[in-house]
């Protein structure tokens, strides 16, 4: 008789574990992915939000400087 009682207990444990995992995945999805980035933000605003105001601008590459000097 104990074997009969173990199978429903195991099934209940698996069901509870899966339900908790799905709940956790849903909470993580809500936390990270439910509010998208505003579409009106441009690259410099996103850069400021991520890195702060003390970032240096990207310098033009050497090929751009050479081609500008040739003209």
Go through 23-44 and write b for each residue having 16 or more CB atoms within 10 A of its CB, e for each that does not: eeeeeeeeeeeeeeeeeeeeee
| pLDDT per residue as tens, the chain (71 positions) | 556 556 788 999 999 999 999 999 999 998 888 776 667 777 888 788 788 876 555 555 555 556 556 55
Determine the straight-line distance between the first and last CA of the chain, rounded to whole angstroms. Answer: 92
As a whole number of angstroms, the distance between CA 36 and CA 42 comes to 14
Domain ranges of the chain: 2-70
- 16 neighbors 9 (Cβ within 8 angstroms): no
Specify the residue for token string 């400021």.
48
């Amino acid at each position: 008789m104990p074997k009969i009682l173990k199978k429903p207990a195991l099934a209940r444990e698996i069901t509870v574990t899966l339900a908790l995992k799905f709940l956790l995945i849903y909470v993580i999805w809500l936390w990270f992915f439910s509010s998208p980035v505003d579409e009106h933000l441009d690259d410099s605003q996103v850069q400021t939000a991520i890195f702060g105001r003390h970032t240096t601008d990207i310098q033009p590459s050497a090929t751009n400087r050479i081609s500008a000097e040739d003209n």
